[in-house]
Amino acid sequence: MSKDIKTVKLYVCPSCFAREIDKFLSYDEEAEEYYCRRCCYVGKVEDIEEFYAAYKKAKYKDMAKPYPSEKY
């Protein structure tokens, strides 16, 4: 008998990540949500992806302006 094995992507908890702690989220298949065993973070894949997309964007923005802005 073959069983469908869904590959579950691993994510680091955004809430812990903000505190510089790398803690992987556990996945609740029934709720289809990720949750953190360390803090109370619960989120869907979209939430987590969104967090990291925003984080990368913010970081990129900083990198895009290495020099102080012009003085007025």
Query: Which residues lie near Zn ion (CB under 5 A)?
Result: 13, 15-16, 36, 38-39, 41
The distance of closest approach from Cβ of residue 16 to Zn ion in the complex, given in angstroms and rounded to an integer, is 3
The distance of closest approach from Cβ of residue 34 to Zn ion in the complex, given in angstroms and rounded to an integer, is 10
Taking the CA atoms of 10, 54, 37 and 21 in sequence, report the sign of the dihedral they define.
Answer: positive
Closer residue to Zn ion in complex, CB, 13/62: 13
The distance of closest approach from Cβ of residue 47 to Zn ion in the complex, given in angstroms and rounded to an integer, is 13
The residue type of 54 is A
- Decide if 24 contacts 37 (C-beta within 8 A): no
